[in-house]
Amino acid sequence: MRSATDHRERWVGVRRSVLALVLVGVVGLAGTALSALTLNGVEQDRLNRALNQRTTMIKQAITAEVNRYSASLTDLAAAVGSQSRLETAEFAAITAGVDRQRLPGATGLVFVVPVKHAQTAALESEWRGRGSPSLKLRPIGESTHRFAVLDKSLDNTGSSAGVDLSPSAQAVEAMDIAEQDRRVTVSRTYRLLKDSGLPPERRQLSFVFVAPVFASSPGAPDAGRFRGWLVLGTRGGDFLSEAVADAAGDGVAVTLIDDGSGDPIPMASWQPPAPLDTSVEALQITVPVAQRSWNLRVAATDRLLAGTDRGLDRIAWLVGLVLTALLVALTGSIVTSRDRALRRVDEATAALRRDIAQREEVEHRLRQRESELVGFAGVVAHDLRSPLARIMGYADFLHEEAFDQLDSTQRDFLARLRKGADNMRVLIDDLLDYATAENRPMANVPVDLHRLAEEIARDRAADRAAGIEVGELPTIYGDPTLLRQVLDNLIGNAIKYTPPDREPHVRVGCQPVEGGRWRCEVTDNGIGIPDRDRAAVFDAFTRVGGSENYPGTGLGLAIVHRIVERHHGQVGVEANPSGGSVFWFTVPEHSRVPTPH
Ligand code: ADP
């Protein structure tokens, strides 16, 4: 039954432990996930904000750069238009400053004029006459042409003069728009004709800025008329790199997409060495460029935020997981050590129970054996009494009637016989008292201890001169015969164990003590008891050092012990500070009854 309960309790304990571990683990993981998510959210927020900011800066940079190119071209177109008769030398003078304007990606600046196929030869001779004697127009097809008649190369790739731009649809479209709107425009992207000779890795998509040129000189014969276009070829990649380098840094990658013709074409891109951060979505924005617009795709790299701010969520996961593991381990060790301790307590309790049961059994057997022995001693003593009485009777008779007829040896034998018989009588009386103290049915009547002590003192003082002082003693409930034995033994010993050359001073008294009890003391000025022997004096047949010269059986104090125990009290002995011993015993106070006197 007990082991089934133990088993059930242990099982409950194991379940509770596992539950505690799981709970700690789940709470730890949940906390970790929550902090990581929060930090991740915060980081994403910061990333998005940084990306937005960077994108705005890039947009502004591109717009500013396009405006700068447009403004330059507008100024140049105005300067070209202001010439009453534009010649090669003037064009060279007007465009001389372009080199210093730092226009990254710019490949060349040409002045383009439209002409019908039939008038190609006339146009060629006219512009040869204006300072380009070697000009050779190279028409493509047989409809209208758009010839670059003047040229300023900006990338040292050779002259474009004489080239027919009409096959380039993007350039033609931009020229038409510019003429029509009378302002600078930007073409869709395409591969520049002059780039077709470059190796593939250096080819890039380009576009042209186009400014219309109107004659503005008042004296010119064609004043106010459209003269042609200034076309600035620009390589997209180089333009973009220069335009966005500062704003983008290594925090973002930028792709410029031209979707003016329908299909989006990645025109150019700025790709820093840092890897892309895919945790944040790239931004798509539109940048207005002259009459058209470019789409910009801006993606974050892992350098967008300062290095220390990155990966906080990963750190949170790591720290959280380590803490959770530690917590689980700690809980586990607490739980298992608690279980171990509980198990040990259980085992110890079981062992204690077994021990107590064994002791009880042994004690029970001992008590049985002791009471058998005591009973046996009582029977023996009782049976010895009458033969002893006869022996003593005959010895007394001899002593009284025939003493004179005995010689000295016989008298000595007789004296020894009488003394031995007397000792035996004392022993038999003590043995009987000892047996009686254990088994005798006990009365429970008021006993006036004071009166008892007075009577004993009187009797004892008759045997030997002694000063016996009886103080305050209560009346208690108990057995008068047995209680008399207690006081008699203690007072008797007090007198007996005082050396013959010293008058015994004995004090008897009681006082109330804690726990509702009386403590009664018998104090003497006798030989005292060595410290080490005090505990033994209440054992039966025990006589301690120093008592050899005093008669006794070693049973008196054992009898006292028995009787006091049967009255629910305790006994003990202490040294009297002024010499001698103090024997004490306690009895319950509730047994006190009012004294009649
Ligand atoms: P006994 O018959 O020997 O007196 P008790 O049981 O009365 O037996 O006492 C046991 C022993 O205790 C004694 O032998 C003695 O050594 C010691 N004893 C008892 N009372 C006193 C006392 N008042 N002063 C000194 N020793 C004592």
Q: How far is the CA of 293 from the centre of ligand 1 (A)?
A: 127
Helices marked H in 300-405 — which ranges? Answer: 312-401
> What pLDDT was estimated at residue 597?
41
User: Which residue, of 419, 436, 453, is where some domain finishes?
Assistant: 436
Structural domain harbouring 524: 445-588
| Type of residue numbered 596 | P
> What pLDDT was estimated at residue 548?
87
Atom of ligand 1 nearest to the CA of 544: 16
User: Which residue, of 278, 304, 330, is where some domain finishes?
Assistant: 304
In 3D space, the residue among 195, 182, 178, 190 whose CA is nearest the CA of residue 231 turns out to be 178
Which of 497, 564, 571, 576 best tests ligand 1's pocket when mutated (most atoms within 8 Å of CB)? 497
Q: How far is the CA of 237 from the centre of ligand 1 (A)?
A: 124
Q: Predicted confidence band at 450 (pLDDT cuts at 50, 70, 90)?
A: very high
Q: What is the pLDDT of residues 73-115, one digit of tens each?
A: 999 999 999 988 889 999 999 999 888 888 888 999 999 999 9
* One domain for residues 380 and 491: no
Cα separation, 55 vs 201, whole angstroms:
28
Q: How many residues does the chain have?
A: 597
Residue 422 tokens read as 């007397």
> What pLDDT was estimated at residue 309?
56
Nearest residue (by CA) to ligand 1, atom 4, is 552
* One domain for residues 431 and 449: no
| Type of residue numbered 33 | A
Q: How far is the CA of 490 from the centre of ligand 1 (A)?
A: 9
Cα separation, 368 vs 362, whole angstroms:
10
> What pLDDT was estimated at residue 432?
82
Q: Predicted confidence band at 594 (pLDDT cuts at 50, 70, 90)?
A: very low
Q: How far is the CA of 514 from the centre of ligand 1 (A)?
A: 28
Residue 133 lies in a domain: yes
Q: What are the pocket residues of ligand 1 if the criterion is a CB atom closer than 6 Å to any ligand atom?
A: 489, 493-494, 497, 524, 526-529, 537, 542-544, 547, 552-558, 581
Q: 408-439 vs 480-496: helix axis angle to the nearest 10? A: 140
Cα separation, 595 vs 445, whole angstroms:
13
Q: How far is the CA of 541 from the centre of ligand 1 (A)?
A: 10
Which of 506, 547, 548, 561 best tests ligand 1's pocket when mutated (most atoms within 8 Å of CB)? 547
> What pLDDT was estimated at residue 523?
98
Q: How far is the CA of 543 from the centre of ligand 1 (A)?
A: 6
Residue 540 tokens read as 């039966």
Residue 492 has pLDDT above 90, yes or no: yes
Which of 557, 560, 561, 573 best tests ligand 1's pocket when mutated (most atoms within 8 Å of CB)? 557
Cα separation, 280 vs 484, whole angstroms:
106
Q: Is residue 253 within 8 Å of residue 299, measured between CB atoms? A: yes
> What pLDDT was estimated at residue 3?
62
* One domain for residues 477 and 428: no
Cα separation, 477 vs 567, whole angstroms:
9
Residue 114 lies in a domain: yes
* One domain for residues 245 and 390: no
Which of 493, 527, 582, 584 best tests ligand 1's pocket when mutated (most atoms within 8 Å of CB)? 493
Atom of ligand 1 nearest to the CA of 554: 8
Q: What is the pLDDT of residues 355-403, one digit of tens each?
A: 999 999 999 988 888 777 777 877 777 788 888 999 999 999 999 998 8
Contacts of 468 (CB under 8 A, 6+ apart): 457, 460, 461, 491, 495, 504, 506, 507, 508
Contacts of 475 (CB under 8 A, 6+ apart): 446, 447, 448, 449, 450, 592, 593, 594, 595
Residue 516 lies in a domain: yes
> What pLDDT was estimated at residue 596?
41
* One domain for residues 477 and 431: no
Cα separation, 310 vs 325, whole angstroms:
24
Q: How far is the CA of 518 from the centre of ligand 1 (A)?
A: 23
Q: Is residue 274 within 8 Å of residue 302, measured between CB atoms? A: yes
Q: Kindly report which listed range (263-267, 274-278, 516-520) carries the lowest average pLDDT score.
A: 263-267
> What pLDDT was estimated at residue 595?
42
Q: How far is the CA of 458 from the centre of ligand 1 (A)?
A: 21
* One domain for residues 282 and 380: no
Name the residue with tokens 């008068």: 480
Residue 583 lies in a domain: yes
Residue 214 lies in a domain: yes
Q: How far is the CA of 497 from the centre of ligand 1 (A)?
A: 7
Instruction: Classify 209 as helix, strand or coil.
Output: strand
* One domain for residues 449 and 522: yes
Q: How far is the CA of 575 from the centre of ligand 1 (A)?
A: 13
Q: Which class for 551: exposed (0-12), middle (13-18), buried (19 or more C-beta within 10 A)? A: exposed
Share of the chain above pLDDT 90, in %: 46
Residue 457 tokens read as 């003192």
* One domain for residues 280 and 248: yes
* One domain for residues 111 and 237: yes
Q: Is residue 552 within 8 Å of residue 423, measured between CB atoms? A: no
> What pLDDT was estimated at residue 315?
81
Residue 209 has pLDDT above 90, yes or no: yes
Instruction: Classify 355 as helix, strand or coil.
Output: helix
Residue 593 has pLDDT above 50, yes or no: no
* One domain for residues 492 and 414: no
Residue 468 lies in a domain: yes
Cα separation, 28 vs 32, whole angstroms:
6
Nearest residue (by CA) to ligand 1, atom 7, is 556
pTM for the whole structure: 0.50
* One domain for residues 474 and 575: yes
User: Which residue, of 390, 410, 436, is where some domain finishes?
Assistant: 436
List the CATH number of the domain containing 50.
Answer: 3.30.450.350
Q: How far is the CA of 86 from the centre of ligand 1 (A)?
A: 154
Cα separation, 319 vs 36, whole angstroms:
10
Element (H, E) at 409: helix 408-439
Which of 425, 529, 533, 548 best tests ligand 1's pocket when mutated (most atoms within 8 Å of CB)? 529
Cα separation, 299 vs 275, whole angstroms:
10
Residue 139 has pLDDT above 70, yes or no: yes
Atom of ligand 1 nearest to the CA of 557: 6
Structural domain tally of the chain?
3
Residue 449 has pLDDT above 90, yes or no: yes
Residue 294 lies in a domain: yes
Question: Which is more confident, 340 or 525?
Answer: 525
- Tell me, rounded to whole angstroms, the distance of Cα 148 from its chain centroid: 80
Mean of all residue pLDDT scores within the chain: 87
Q: Kindly report which listed range (9-13, 42-46, 94-98, 404-408) carries the lowest average pLDDT score.
A: 9-13
Q: What is the pLDDT of residues 536-583, one digit of tens each?
A: 999 988 999 888 889 998 999 999 999 999 999 999 999 999 999 999
Which of 537, 549, 581 best tests ligand 1's pocket when mutated (most atoms within 8 Å of CB)? 537
Q: Predicted confidence band at 144 (pLDDT cuts at 50, 70, 90)?
A: very high
Q: Kindly report which listed range (120-124, 313-317, 387-391) carries the lowest average pLDDT score.
A: 313-317
The 3 state secondary structure assigned to 224-259 is CCEEEEEEEEEEHHHHHHHHHHHHHCCCEEEEEEEC
Q: How far is the CA of 494 from the centre of ligand 1 (A)?
A: 9
State the CB neighbour count (10 A cutoff) for residue 113: 19
Residue 313 lies in a domain: no
> What pLDDT was estimated at residue 100?
86
Q: Is residue 335 within 8 Å of residue 17, measured between CB atoms? A: yes
Q: Predicted confidence band at 261 (pLDDT cuts at 50, 70, 90)?
A: low
Q: Kindly report which listed range (200-204, 400-404, 422-426, 479-483) carries the lowest average pLDDT score.
A: 200-204
Q: How far is the CA of 400 from the centre of ligand 1 (A)?
A: 34
**527-532: long-range contacts, CB 8 A cutoff, minimum separation 24:** 527/497, 527/498, 527/499, 527/580, 528/575, 528/576, 528/579, 528/580, 528/581, 529/573, 529/575, 529/581, 531/575
Q: Is residue 340 within 8 Å of residue 36, measured between CB atoms? A: no
Share of the chain above pLDDT 70, in %: 95
Residue 310 has pLDDT above 70, yes or no: no
> What pLDDT was estimated at residue 222?
79
The most confident of 84-93, 248-257, 586-595, by mean pLDDT: 84-93
Residue 102 tokens read as 């730092």
* One domain for residues 414 and 453: no
Residue 117 tokens read as 């196929």
Q: Which class for 532: exposed (0-12), middle (13-18), buried (19 or more C-beta within 10 A)? A: exposed
